[in-house]
Amino acid sequence: MSCDETFTEFLTRRGVSRRSFLAFCATTASALALPTEAARQLAANLATARRPSVIWLSFQECTGCTESLTRSGTPTVEALILDHLSLDYHHTLQAASGAAAEQARRDAMAANYGSYVLVVDGSIPTADGGVWSTIAGVTNLEMLRETMEGAALVIAVGTCAAYGGIPAAAAVTAPRLNQSGASSVGDLMDAGTIPSLPLVNVSGCPPVPDVISGTIAYFLAYGSLPELDDQNRPRAYYGKTVHDQCPRLSHYQNGEFALAFDDEGAQKGYCLYLLGCKGPETYNACPTVRWNLNTSFPMHSGHGCLGCSEAAFWDRALAADGSGFTGSCFYPDIRP
C-alpha cells in the first residue's frame, strides 16, 4: 500500500462499503462522546487521512496487548484502522529479524522524523542500568530514549506501559520488590529520564482492541488526541467505572450477591462484588465495548473485575498477608 493512498481508497480496495465506514465513524464518535455533527466531520477527516508511520516497541510484557489488538475481528473497519498504519517496526509482527529489523527501525525514524507515532507496550526496567531487558544488545531504556527523539506522539498500550503493570508489582512478600525497577512511560517522562512528548495511556491487561483503534482513528482524523483524564487516558473510554456499566448492576442495587462461584446466586447472574470484583474503582469501557466483536467481557463469563486498567492493580488485588485475592474489604465505603 502506498503511503499516499487515502484511508477511503484503502478501504474501497479492501471491499469495505461506504455504509460500513460511516457506521464505524458514527459508533466511534458516540464512544468518544462527540456531538452528533462530529460523526460527519470525523468521517470527512478520516476519509482523507494519509498513512502514518508507526514504530511499536515491546519491552517487559507478555505479548497479550498485541494478541488482543490482532483479534479485533476481520474485515471490520476497526481492524483495518490498524492495517492502514505503516507498521514499520514491531517485534512480533515484522518479517525482518536481527540486524535487518533494527535497521528498519532506524530507517523509519530517519524517513519520518518528527511525524511518526511511537507505540510502547510493556514496562521499562531501569535497575542496574536497565540490563534486565535488552534488544540487540541495547537496553529497553536506551532504545526508548533514542526512538522518542523524532516521535510526534507516544501511545502507551496496556497497563505495563501505562503504569508499570505486573513487572512493577511490589509483591507483599518482601524483599521481592520490583527488582528490575520496572517503570511506566509516563513516570520516566515525569522524572526527566526520557523526553516529554504528548502521551496517551490505553490501559488494560490487555486493553480492549476497539479502544486503541478508536483512539488512533481520532488522531488520524484530527491530528490531535481526544480529551484525556488525569491519567492521560481517553476520557470517553475511561470516564465511567466498570461497576456503573455492569449488566449485573441491578442485582447489586437489589442486594443480590453471589457468595461462591458455583452457588445459586452465581447461577442466577447475581453481583460478584463479595467475591472480590474490583469494578467499583476500575475505570474502563469493557462492559460496553467488550472483546471479540463486542461479544463478552469477564462478568459475562462469571468472573469479577480484577481492576486491570488501574495503577498497581496487582498489589491492590492481593491480601495483606499475600495469601490471595481479597474481596469487598477493599471497599468499606460501599460495602452492602
> Using the 8-state DSSP alphabet, how is residue 55 labeled?
E
Question: Going by DSSP bridges, is the β-strand pair 116-121/86-90 parallel, antiparallel, or unpaired?
Answer: unpaired
**237: alpha, beta or left? (left if phi > 0; alpha if psi -120 to 50):** alpha
Q: State the pLDDT at residue 72.
A: 57
Cβ-contact 210, 78 below 8 angstroms:
yes
Task: Give the integer Cα–Cα distance in Å for 282 and 289.
Answer: 15
Task: Give the integer Cα–Cα distance in Å for 77 and 23.
Answer: 9
Task: Give the integer Cα–Cα distance in Å for 156 and 57.
Answer: 10
Query: Residues annotated in the binding site, as ranges?
Result: 62, 65, 160, 205, 243, 246, 271, 277, 286, 305, 308
> Using the 8-state DSSP alphabet, how is residue 330 labeled?
G
Q: State the pLDDT at residue 297.
A: 85
User: Please, what are the domains in the chain?
Assistant: 7-237 (3.40.50.700), 240-334 (4.10.480.10)
Q: State the pLDDT at residue 323.
A: 46
Query: Residues annotated in the binding site for [3Fe-4S] cluster, as ranges?
Result: 286, 305, 308
List, in sequence order, every residue forming a beta bridge with 241; answer none if it has no partner.
Answer: 283
Query: Residues annotated in the binding site for [4Fe-4S] cluster, as ranges?
Result: 62, 65, 160, 205, 243, 246, 271, 277
Q: State the pLDDT at residue 280.
A: 93
Q: State the pLDDT at residue 78.
A: 52
Q: State the pLDDT at residue 288.
A: 87
Instruction: Output the tens digit of pLDDT for each of the chain's 336 residues.
Output: 345 667 777 777 767 777 777 777 777 777 776 777 777 777 777 777 667 788 889 999 888 887 777 665 544 555 555 565 667 777 776 666 778 888 888 888 898 898 888 999 999 999 999 999 888 889 999 999 999 999 989 999 999 999 999 888 875 544 466 888 899 999 999 999 999 999 999 999 988 877 877 787 788 778 888 899 999 999 989 999 999 999 999 999 999 999 999 899 999 999 999 998 999 999 999 898 887 777 888 888 889 998 999 998 888 766 444 444 444 333 333 333
Q: State the pLDDT at residue 322.
A: 45
